[in-house]
Structure 1
Amino acid sequence: MKKFRFPLQPVGVLRNHQEQRAREVFAAAVHRYVQSEEKLAALRKRAAELAEVLFHGRSGQFLAAEAAALLRVYRGECQSVMEAEREVIEAREDMNKRRAEYIEANRRLKIVTKLEEKAREKHRLAVLRAGQEELDELAGFRAFRQPALS
């Protein structure tokens, strides 16, 4: 019997590479999302500390110039927080898009893998069937050659 050869092997190799690439791109997107979340958390913490100083630190003498400068810094931090929130939203959307692409690439790879498994099983059964036919033929020849014991 011939050696097993899967005719869609090049397709399987190609889809395997596509799936690996999609996995790498998805991992990079997750990494960017996590970094943007960490950046947002740090900016929120810094803005909260500035708010604490600005709004609750008025126990002493009020200096208008100092308060105005602190308010400007606080507004800048709030603006940075809003930009970081936009970045997080964009990173999340990109991550979800990359996840969908990875899932699709994985699904396409599994299709080829299942086809290969089915073809291997079909080939294995054909080999077993051919071997059994040879054994049956040998047994038939042996039975024909031996005289009947009556």
Structure 2
Amino acid sequence: MATHLLTQLEPTTRTIKRAQYEAFEFQLRSDGILVRNGSHATPEEHEYLVRMHDGVPVRCNCPADRTYSGACKHRIAVAIRQPVLQAATEREIIPDGGTLGSVADVDQAEEAEDIEECACAGLNDAFPCRECYQTGKRSLPE
């Protein structure tokens, strides 16, 4: 039997409530979902990238996701909004079983910056680290 997505993410009640009432905006990108919190006076300073894996928001680059147990409000916001979750899940999968390539609206410089911050930046270019491979930032050589 499949486990409910919120059960898998183990959020607190407070996190679920905040994910429901804060004014989140979503942008689907090739590397995940950019979640902007429009509830803040400066929303551009409160946007984070939620990474997906097998239809589950598995990671966010916000400080709360790294610090606390359970999923952050950004991951929960994606999980409870069915149209956003469905679009992100469909984006992950293509008919031949592969993954999607780059999308025109992704800023190549930003993508390169993400890779440089990763532990695999100093490794042989042909082989990414596990995290970059799982999140789709880099792929294995053919």
TM-score (norm: length of structure 2): 0.18
**Which has the higher relative contact order, 1 or 2, with Cα contacts under 8 A spaced 6 or more apart?**
1
Larger relative strand fraction = 2
Structure of larger gyration radius: 1
TM-score (norm 1): 0.18
**In proportion to residue count, which structure has more helix?**
1
